[in-house]
Amino acid sequence: MNDLLLRQVRIVDPGGPHHDDTVDVLVRDGRVARVGARLQRQQATELRIAGLHASPGWVDLRLRVPDPGHEHVQDLPNALDAAAAGGFTAVGILPSTSPVMDGRSGVEYVLRRTAGHAVRALPIAALTKGCKGEQLSEAYDLMRAGAVALSDDQHPVRNTRLMLLALQYALNFNGRVMSFPLDPDLVANGLMHEGPMSVRLGMRGIPALAEQVQVARDLALLAYTGSRLHIATVSTADAVALIRDAKARKLDVTASVAAHHLLLDDSALSGYDTHYKVMPPLRDATHVAALREAVKDGTIDTITSDHRPEDVEHKKVEFPQAAPGIIGTETAFGVAATAMKGRLTVRRLVERFCHGPRATLGIDVPHIREGTPAEVTLFLPETPWTVAASDLVSRSRNTPFIGQQLNARSVGILANGRAAASPAFRHQLAC
Protein backbone atom coordinates (compact mmCIF):
# COMPACT_ATOMS: atom_id res chain seq x y z
CA MET A 1 0.00 0.00 0.00
CA ASN A 2 1.30 3.46 -0.92
CA ASP A 3 1.29 6.23 1.66
CA LEU A 4 -2.25 7.37 2.41
CA LEU A 5 -3.38 10.58 4.09
CA LEU A 6 -6.87 10.62 5.55
CA ARG A 7 -8.10 14.20 5.73
CA GLN A 8 -10.42 15.42 8.48
CA VAL A 9 -11.52 11.99 9.62
CA ARG A 10 -13.56 11.53 12.80
CA ILE A 11 -11.97 8.85 15.01
CA VAL A 12 -14.38 6.50 16.82
CA ASP A 13 -12.05 4.52 19.07
CA PRO A 14 -13.29 4.04 22.65
CA GLY A 15 -10.26 3.43 24.85
CA GLY A 16 -7.90 4.85 22.24
CA PRO A 17 -5.90 8.09 22.50
CA HIS A 18 -7.76 9.88 19.71
CA HIS A 19 -11.36 8.88 20.37
CA ASP A 20 -13.82 11.51 19.12
CA ASP A 21 -11.07 13.63 17.56
CA THR A 22 -11.37 14.98 14.02
CA VAL A 23 -7.84 14.79 12.66
CA ASP A 24 -5.62 13.89 9.72
CA VAL A 25 -4.12 10.39 9.74
CA LEU A 26 -1.04 9.46 7.72
CA VAL A 27 -0.58 5.76 6.99
CA ARG A 28 2.90 4.79 5.75
CA ASP A 29 4.14 1.28 5.00
CA GLY A 30 0.97 -0.16 6.53
CA ARG A 31 1.44 1.65 9.86
CA VAL A 32 -0.12 4.72 11.45
CA ALA A 33 2.76 7.18 11.02
CA ARG A 34 1.18 10.46 12.13
CA VAL A 35 -2.06 11.65 13.69
CA GLY A 36 -2.64 15.40 13.90
CA ALA A 37 -4.04 18.56 12.36
CA ARG A 38 -3.17 19.78 8.86
CA LEU A 39 -0.50 17.17 8.14
CA GLN A 40 1.71 17.67 5.10
CA ARG A 41 0.65 15.53 2.15
CA GLN A 42 4.12 15.03 0.63
CA GLN A 43 3.93 11.91 -1.62
CA ALA A 44 0.85 10.38 0.01
CA THR A 45 -2.44 9.66 -1.74
CA GLU A 46 -5.05 11.92 -0.15
CA LEU A 47 -8.49 10.68 0.83
CA ARG A 48 -11.00 13.37 1.64
CA ILE A 49 -14.66 12.36 1.97
CA ALA A 50 -17.23 14.50 3.75
CA GLY A 51 -18.39 12.81 6.95
CA LEU A 52 -15.64 10.17 6.91
CA HIS A 53 -15.19 8.22 10.15
CA ALA A 54 -12.51 5.72 11.15
CA SER A 55 -12.48 3.07 13.84
CA PRO A 56 -10.41 0.02 14.77
CA GLY A 57 -11.19 -2.82 12.38
CA TRP A 58 -14.55 -4.56 12.65
CA VAL A 59 -14.92 -8.31 13.12
CA ASP A 60 -17.75 -10.47 11.77
CA LEU A 61 -18.24 -13.65 13.78
CA ARG A 62 -20.35 -15.63 11.29
CA LEU A 63 -19.56 -16.28 7.65
CA ARG A 64 -20.60 -19.55 6.08
CA VAL A 65 -18.35 -19.88 3.05
CA PRO A 66 -18.87 -23.11 1.06
CA ASP A 67 -15.16 -23.52 0.29
CA PRO A 68 -14.18 -26.31 0.02
CA GLY A 69 -17.11 -28.12 -1.56
CA HIS A 70 -19.14 -25.54 -3.47
CA GLU A 71 -16.68 -22.87 -4.51
CA HIS A 72 -18.92 -21.91 -7.45
CA VAL A 73 -21.32 -20.38 -4.92
CA GLN A 74 -18.55 -18.46 -3.15
CA ASP A 75 -14.92 -19.19 -2.45
CA LEU A 76 -12.82 -17.85 0.40
CA PRO A 77 -11.03 -15.06 -1.54
CA ASN A 78 -14.35 -13.72 -2.84
CA ALA A 79 -15.86 -13.88 0.66
CA LEU A 80 -12.94 -11.88 2.08
CA ASP A 81 -13.23 -9.33 -0.74
CA ALA A 82 -16.90 -8.88 0.18
CA ALA A 83 -16.03 -8.58 3.86
CA ALA A 84 -13.50 -5.85 3.09
CA ALA A 85 -16.14 -3.96 1.12
CA GLY A 86 -18.38 -4.17 4.18
CA GLY A 87 -15.74 -2.78 6.53
CA PHE A 88 -14.55 -5.99 8.20
CA THR A 89 -10.84 -6.57 8.80
CA ALA A 90 -11.34 -10.06 10.28
CA VAL A 91 -14.09 -12.65 9.84
CA GLY A 92 -15.04 -15.92 11.51
CA ILE A 93 -15.29 -18.75 8.99
CA LEU A 94 -17.88 -21.35 10.01
CA PRO A 95 -17.14 -25.08 9.74
CA SER A 96 -20.11 -26.23 7.64
CA THR A 97 -18.12 -26.91 4.47
CA SER A 98 -17.68 -30.10 2.49
CA PRO A 99 -15.85 -31.76 4.10
CA VAL A 100 -16.65 -30.23 7.48
CA MET A 101 -13.85 -28.30 9.17
CA ASP A 102 -13.49 -30.80 12.01
CA GLY A 103 -9.78 -31.61 11.69
CA ARG A 104 -6.46 -29.82 11.65
CA SER A 105 -6.24 -30.01 7.85
CA GLY A 106 -9.48 -28.05 7.46
CA VAL A 107 -8.24 -25.22 9.68
CA GLU A 108 -4.91 -25.17 7.85
CA TYR A 109 -6.73 -25.05 4.50
CA VAL A 110 -8.59 -21.87 5.50
CA LEU A 111 -5.44 -20.19 6.78
CA ARG A 112 -3.41 -21.17 3.71
CA ARG A 113 -6.14 -20.19 1.23
CA THR A 114 -6.53 -16.73 2.75
CA ALA A 115 -2.90 -15.88 3.56
CA GLY A 116 -1.87 -12.39 2.50
CA HIS A 117 -5.39 -11.00 2.12
CA ALA A 118 -6.24 -7.67 3.71
CA VAL A 119 -8.96 -9.42 5.72
CA ARG A 120 -7.87 -11.99 8.29
CA ALA A 121 -9.77 -15.29 8.26
CA LEU A 122 -10.55 -16.70 11.71
CA PRO A 123 -11.43 -20.40 11.46
CA ILE A 124 -14.28 -21.51 13.71
CA ALA A 125 -13.88 -25.28 13.83
CA ALA A 126 -16.59 -27.89 14.32
CA LEU A 127 -17.58 -28.65 17.89
CA THR A 128 -18.52 -32.23 16.97
CA LYS A 129 -17.27 -34.49 14.20
CA GLY A 130 -19.08 -33.75 10.98
CA CYS A 131 -21.28 -31.24 12.90
CA LYS A 132 -23.45 -34.30 13.63
CA GLY A 133 -23.69 -33.84 17.40
CA GLU A 134 -22.60 -37.39 18.12
CA GLN A 135 -18.89 -37.21 19.03
CA LEU A 136 -16.72 -34.31 20.11
CA SER A 137 -14.08 -33.12 17.69
CA GLU A 138 -10.39 -32.92 18.66
CA ALA A 139 -10.97 -29.44 20.05
CA TYR A 140 -7.57 -28.81 21.56
CA ASP A 141 -5.78 -29.87 18.39
CA LEU A 142 -8.08 -27.62 16.33
CA MET A 143 -7.33 -24.64 18.54
CA ARG A 144 -3.59 -25.30 18.31
CA ALA A 145 -3.91 -25.40 14.52
CA GLY A 146 -5.39 -21.88 14.53
CA ALA A 147 -9.12 -22.17 15.24
CA VAL A 148 -10.49 -19.34 17.37
CA ALA A 149 -13.68 -21.02 18.61
CA LEU A 150 -15.83 -24.14 18.29
CA SER A 151 -19.28 -24.33 16.74
CA ASP A 152 -21.54 -26.66 14.80
CA ASP A 153 -22.92 -23.64 12.93
CA GLN A 154 -26.71 -24.08 12.60
CA HIS A 155 -26.68 -27.67 13.85
CA PRO A 156 -27.74 -27.52 17.52
CA VAL A 157 -26.21 -30.16 19.79
CA ARG A 158 -29.22 -32.28 20.75
CA ASN A 159 -27.36 -34.43 23.28
CA THR A 160 -27.31 -32.49 26.55
CA ARG A 161 -24.51 -34.58 28.04
CA LEU A 162 -22.35 -34.02 24.97
CA MET A 163 -22.86 -30.26 25.28
CA LEU A 164 -21.93 -30.50 28.96
CA LEU A 165 -18.72 -32.35 28.10
CA ALA A 166 -17.88 -29.81 25.39
CA LEU A 167 -18.15 -26.93 27.85
CA GLN A 168 -16.09 -28.77 30.44
CA TYR A 169 -13.41 -29.75 27.95
CA ALA A 170 -13.10 -26.20 26.60
CA LEU A 171 -12.16 -25.01 30.10
CA ASN A 172 -8.83 -26.81 29.77
CA PHE A 173 -7.58 -24.51 27.00
CA ASN A 174 -9.71 -21.39 27.49
CA GLY A 175 -11.83 -22.28 24.47
CA ARG A 176 -15.06 -20.57 23.48
CA VAL A 177 -18.05 -22.72 22.55
CA MET A 178 -20.60 -21.12 20.22
CA SER A 179 -24.13 -22.49 20.35
CA PHE A 180 -27.01 -22.09 17.93
CA PRO A 181 -30.21 -21.31 19.86
CA LEU A 182 -32.91 -23.47 18.30
CA ASP A 183 -34.24 -26.75 19.63
CA PRO A 184 -34.44 -28.86 16.44
CA ASP A 185 -37.33 -30.97 17.74
CA LEU A 186 -39.43 -27.86 18.34
CA VAL A 187 -38.45 -26.38 14.97
CA ALA A 188 -40.04 -29.49 13.42
CA ASN A 189 -39.69 -28.46 9.76
CA GLY A 190 -41.08 -25.00 10.42
CA LEU A 191 -40.62 -22.37 7.73
CA MET A 192 -41.13 -19.03 9.49
CA HIS A 193 -41.96 -17.47 12.85
CA GLU A 194 -45.04 -18.96 14.47
CA GLY A 195 -47.68 -16.27 14.85
CA PRO A 196 -50.57 -14.53 13.09
CA MET A 197 -48.50 -14.06 9.92
CA SER A 198 -47.65 -17.76 9.62
CA VAL A 199 -51.35 -18.60 10.04
CA ARG A 200 -52.32 -16.05 7.41
CA LEU A 201 -49.74 -17.40 4.94
CA GLY A 202 -50.55 -21.03 5.68
CA MET A 203 -46.97 -21.93 6.56
CA ARG A 204 -45.78 -24.08 9.43
CA GLY A 205 -44.36 -21.90 12.19
CA ILE A 206 -41.25 -22.04 14.36
CA PRO A 207 -42.26 -21.00 17.89
CA ALA A 208 -40.18 -18.57 19.93
CA LEU A 209 -40.23 -21.37 22.50
CA ALA A 210 -37.76 -23.32 20.34
CA GLU A 211 -35.14 -20.67 21.01
CA GLN A 212 -36.06 -20.12 24.65
CA VAL A 213 -35.74 -23.81 25.53
CA GLN A 214 -32.34 -24.20 23.87
CA VAL A 215 -30.92 -21.03 25.43
CA ALA A 216 -32.22 -22.01 28.87
CA ARG A 217 -30.58 -25.43 28.59
CA ASP A 218 -27.24 -24.08 27.43
CA LEU A 219 -27.16 -21.39 30.11
CA ALA A 220 -27.93 -24.00 32.78
CA LEU A 221 -24.98 -26.07 31.51
CA LEU A 222 -22.81 -22.96 31.48
CA ALA A 223 -23.68 -22.21 35.11
CA TYR A 224 -22.89 -25.81 36.08
CA THR A 225 -19.51 -25.90 34.31
CA GLY A 226 -18.28 -22.33 34.78
CA SER A 227 -17.13 -22.37 31.17
CA ARG A 228 -17.41 -19.77 28.37
CA LEU A 229 -20.32 -19.64 25.92
CA HIS A 230 -21.35 -17.52 22.97
CA ILE A 231 -24.99 -17.69 21.88
CA ALA A 232 -25.20 -16.87 18.20
CA THR A 233 -27.92 -15.03 16.26
CA VAL A 234 -30.45 -14.52 19.03
CA SER A 235 -33.89 -13.65 17.67
CA THR A 236 -36.46 -13.63 20.52
CA ALA A 237 -37.39 -11.55 23.54
CA ASP A 238 -37.40 -14.60 25.82
CA ALA A 239 -33.82 -15.48 24.88
CA VAL A 240 -32.77 -11.89 25.50
CA ALA A 241 -34.30 -12.01 28.99
CA LEU A 242 -32.47 -15.24 29.79
CA ILE A 243 -29.13 -13.86 28.61
CA ARG A 244 -29.64 -10.61 30.50
CA ASP A 245 -30.28 -12.59 33.68
CA ALA A 246 -27.22 -14.80 33.05
CA LYS A 247 -25.01 -11.75 32.70
CA ALA A 248 -26.44 -10.34 35.92
CA ARG A 249 -25.36 -13.61 37.56
CA LYS A 250 -21.83 -13.05 36.18
CA LEU A 251 -21.87 -16.05 33.85
CA ASP A 252 -19.26 -15.83 31.07
CA VAL A 253 -21.72 -15.53 28.22
CA THR A 254 -21.79 -13.34 25.12
CA ALA A 255 -24.42 -13.09 22.41
CA SER A 256 -24.84 -11.89 18.85
CA VAL A 257 -27.70 -10.84 16.61
CA ALA A 258 -27.82 -10.83 12.82
CA ALA A 259 -28.21 -7.32 11.41
CA HIS A 260 -31.29 -8.30 9.39
CA HIS A 261 -33.09 -9.42 12.56
CA LEU A 262 -32.82 -5.84 13.84
CA LEU A 263 -34.45 -4.31 10.76
CA LEU A 264 -36.93 -6.84 9.38
CA ASP A 265 -39.90 -8.62 10.90
CA ASP A 266 -42.07 -11.49 9.68
CA SER A 267 -44.36 -9.16 7.71
CA ALA A 268 -41.60 -9.13 5.05
CA LEU A 269 -42.69 -12.68 4.15
CA SER A 270 -46.16 -11.62 3.06
CA GLY A 271 -45.14 -11.98 -0.59
CA TYR A 272 -43.47 -15.38 -0.11
CA ASP A 273 -40.16 -13.86 -1.24
CA THR A 274 -37.48 -16.48 -0.49
CA HIS A 275 -34.84 -13.77 -0.04
CA TYR A 276 -36.41 -13.18 3.38
CA LYS A 277 -36.15 -16.83 4.41
CA VAL A 278 -33.49 -17.03 7.11
CA MET A 279 -32.70 -19.16 10.15
CA PRO A 280 -33.53 -18.25 12.86
CA PRO A 281 -36.63 -16.90 11.13
CA LEU A 282 -37.61 -13.25 11.06
CA ARG A 283 -39.70 -12.70 14.18
CA ASP A 284 -42.60 -10.32 14.83
CA ALA A 285 -42.29 -6.67 15.80
CA THR A 286 -42.36 -7.38 19.55
CA HIS A 287 -39.27 -9.55 19.33
CA VAL A 288 -37.52 -7.05 17.03
CA ALA A 289 -38.08 -4.31 19.63
CA ALA A 290 -36.57 -6.54 22.33
CA LEU A 291 -33.53 -7.22 20.17
CA ARG A 292 -32.96 -3.54 19.57
CA GLU A 293 -33.18 -2.81 23.28
CA ALA A 294 -30.73 -5.65 24.01
CA VAL A 295 -28.21 -4.19 21.54
CA LYS A 296 -28.67 -0.80 23.14
CA ASP A 297 -28.11 -1.97 26.74
CA GLY A 298 -25.28 -4.37 25.90
CA THR A 299 -27.07 -7.63 26.59
CA ILE A 300 -26.23 -8.45 22.98
CA ASP A 301 -22.54 -7.75 22.52
CA THR A 302 -22.16 -8.27 18.79
CA ILE A 303 -23.93 -7.52 15.53
CA THR A 304 -23.03 -9.99 12.81
CA SER A 305 -23.89 -10.41 9.15
CA ASP A 306 -24.63 -14.16 9.40
CA HIS A 307 -23.47 -14.21 5.79
CA ARG A 308 -24.86 -17.27 3.90
CA PRO A 309 -24.43 -17.28 0.13
CA GLU A 310 -26.69 -19.46 -2.02
CA ASP A 311 -26.92 -19.91 -5.77
CA VAL A 312 -30.10 -19.06 -7.65
CA GLU A 313 -31.12 -22.72 -7.91
CA HIS A 314 -31.53 -22.84 -4.13
CA LYS A 315 -33.37 -19.53 -3.80
CA LYS A 316 -35.55 -19.13 -6.89
CA VAL A 317 -37.83 -22.00 -5.91
CA GLU A 318 -41.03 -22.43 -3.92
CA PHE A 319 -40.72 -21.16 -0.36
CA PRO A 320 -40.67 -24.55 1.42
CA GLN A 321 -37.85 -25.80 -0.83
CA ALA A 322 -35.71 -22.64 -0.62
CA ALA A 323 -32.50 -22.67 1.39
CA PRO A 324 -32.47 -20.21 4.29
CA GLY A 325 -29.93 -17.43 4.39
CA ILE A 326 -28.82 -14.14 2.87
CA ILE A 327 -25.48 -12.57 2.04
CA GLY A 328 -24.73 -9.82 4.50
CA THR A 329 -21.14 -8.67 4.79
CA GLU A 330 -21.50 -5.73 2.38
CA THR A 331 -24.74 -4.45 3.94
CA ALA A 332 -24.57 -5.47 7.64
CA PHE A 333 -23.39 -2.10 8.91
CA GLY A 334 -25.90 -0.16 6.86
CA VAL A 335 -28.74 -2.46 7.87
CA ALA A 336 -27.85 -2.24 11.56
CA ALA A 337 -27.39 1.53 11.46
CA THR A 338 -30.78 1.91 9.77
CA ALA A 339 -32.48 -0.29 12.35
CA MET A 340 -30.82 1.49 15.28
CA LYS A 341 -31.13 5.05 14.00
CA GLY A 342 -32.09 7.32 16.89
CA ARG A 343 -31.61 4.43 19.32
CA LEU A 344 -27.83 3.98 19.37
CA THR A 345 -24.89 6.35 19.11
CA VAL A 346 -22.17 5.82 16.50
CA ARG A 347 -19.79 4.89 19.34
CA ARG A 348 -22.06 2.12 20.61
CA LEU A 349 -22.68 0.86 17.09
CA VAL A 350 -18.93 0.60 16.49
CA GLU A 351 -18.56 -1.28 19.77
CA ARG A 352 -21.05 -3.90 18.58
CA PHE A 353 -19.07 -4.38 15.35
CA CYS A 354 -15.57 -4.13 16.85
CA HIS A 355 -15.22 -4.45 20.60
CA GLY A 356 -17.97 -7.02 21.19
CA PRO A 357 -16.74 -9.67 18.74
CA ARG A 358 -13.11 -9.08 19.71
CA ALA A 359 -13.92 -9.58 23.40
CA THR A 360 -15.78 -12.78 22.53
CA LEU A 361 -12.72 -14.20 20.77
CA GLY A 362 -10.11 -12.65 23.07
CA ILE A 363 -8.62 -10.51 20.28
CA ASP A 364 -7.08 -7.14 21.15
CA VAL A 365 -8.60 -3.93 19.81
CA PRO A 366 -6.10 -2.30 17.37
CA HIS A 367 -6.40 1.27 18.64
CA ILE A 368 -5.54 4.02 16.19
CA ARG A 369 -2.28 5.45 17.51
CA GLU A 370 1.05 6.47 16.04
CA GLY A 371 3.53 3.66 15.42
CA THR A 372 1.02 0.78 15.32
CA PRO A 373 0.02 -1.36 12.34
CA ALA A 374 -3.03 0.11 10.64
CA GLU A 375 -6.10 -2.06 11.08
CA VAL A 376 -8.78 0.49 10.38
CA THR A 377 -12.35 0.56 9.12
CA LEU A 378 -13.48 3.64 7.19
CA PHE A 379 -17.20 4.38 7.13
CA LEU A 380 -19.93 6.97 6.70
CA PRO A 381 -22.45 6.68 9.57
CA GLU A 382 -24.93 9.26 8.26
CA THR A 383 -24.87 8.87 4.49
CA PRO A 384 -28.06 7.44 2.95
CA TRP A 385 -27.59 5.22 -0.10
CA THR A 386 -29.66 2.84 -2.16
CA VAL A 387 -28.13 -0.61 -2.48
CA ALA A 388 -27.47 -1.58 -6.08
CA ALA A 389 -26.28 -4.87 -7.51
CA SER A 390 -23.09 -3.08 -8.52
CA ASP A 391 -22.36 -2.42 -4.83
CA LEU A 392 -22.05 -6.14 -4.15
CA VAL A 393 -18.77 -7.99 -4.36
CA SER A 394 -20.18 -11.36 -3.33
CA ARG A 395 -20.50 -13.86 -6.15
CA SER A 396 -23.93 -14.84 -4.82
CA ARG A 397 -26.74 -12.27 -4.83
CA ASN A 398 -29.24 -13.74 -2.38
CA THR A 399 -30.13 -10.55 -0.53
CA PRO A 400 -33.41 -8.68 -0.06
CA PHE A 401 -31.66 -5.31 0.24
CA ILE A 402 -30.99 -4.52 -3.43
CA GLY A 403 -33.06 -1.45 -4.19
CA GLN A 404 -33.54 -0.53 -0.53
CA GLN A 405 -32.23 2.65 1.08
CA LEU A 406 -29.92 2.32 4.07
CA ASN A 407 -28.70 5.13 6.33
CA ALA A 408 -24.98 4.32 6.59
CA ARG A 409 -22.28 2.53 4.63
CA SER A 410 -18.73 1.28 4.71
CA VAL A 411 -16.02 2.93 2.62
CA GLY A 412 -13.37 0.24 3.07
CA ILE A 413 -10.49 -0.95 5.24
CA LEU A 414 -6.77 -0.55 5.83
CA ALA A 415 -5.30 -3.78 7.13
CA ASN A 416 -2.39 -6.17 6.68
CA GLY A 417 -0.48 -3.48 4.78
CA ARG A 418 -3.25 -3.17 2.21
CA ALA A 419 -6.20 -0.97 1.33
CA ALA A 420 -9.51 -2.39 0.15
CA ALA A 421 -12.66 -0.45 -0.65
CA SER A 422 -16.30 -1.01 -1.44
CA PRO A 423 -16.99 -0.64 -5.20
CA ALA A 424 -18.31 2.92 -4.91
CA PHE A 425 -15.04 4.17 -3.35
CA ARG A 426 -12.39 2.13 -5.16
CA HIS A 427 -11.27 5.06 -7.30
CA GLN A 428 -10.72 7.17 -4.17
CA LEU A 429 -9.00 4.50 -2.10
CA ALA A 430 -6.68 3.30 -4.85
CA CYS A 431 -3.26 3.32 -3.26
DSSP 211: H
Phi, psi values for residue 23, rounded to 5°: -140, 175
Ramachandran class of 42: left when φ > 0, alpha when ψ lies in -120 to 50, beta otherwise: left
400 closest CA partner among 299, 297, 261, 291: 261
Whether omega before 280 lies within 30 degrees of 0, making that bond cis, reads yes
List of E strands, 161-310: 177-179, 192-193, 205-206, 229-231, 253-258, 302-304
**Which 3 state secondary structure label does DSSP give 140?**
helix
Buried/exposed code over 257-281 (b: 16+ C-beta within 10 A; e: otherwise): bbbbbbbbbbebbeeeebbbbbbbb
Polymer length of the chain: 431
For residue 205, list its beta bridge partners.
Answer: 192
Distance, in Å, from the CA atom of 117 to the CA atom of 202, rounded to the nearest integer, reads 46
Q: Count CA within 13 A, CB hemisphere, residue 386.
A: 2
3-class SS of residue 366? coil
27 within 8 A of 33, measured Cβ to Cβ: yes
- Evaluate whether 304 touches 259 at the Cβ level (below 8 Å): yes
Distance separating alpha carbons of residues 84 and 91, to the nearest angstrom = 10
C-alpha 232/C-alpha 356 separation (Å) is 13
From the candidates 13, 81, 306, 391, give the one annotated as an active-site residue. Answer: 306
Cα separation, 322 vs 51, in Å, equals: 40
Catalytic site residue 306?
A: yes
CA-CA distance, 360 to 117, in Å (whole number)?
23
Work out the end-to-end distance of the chain between its first and last CA atoms, rounded to an integer number of angstroms: 6
Nearest to 93 by CA among 272, 258, 307: 307
Compute the 3-state secondary structure of the chain and give helix, strand, coil in percent, each to the nearest 5. Answer: 35, 20, 45
Q: Which residues are catalytic?
A: 306
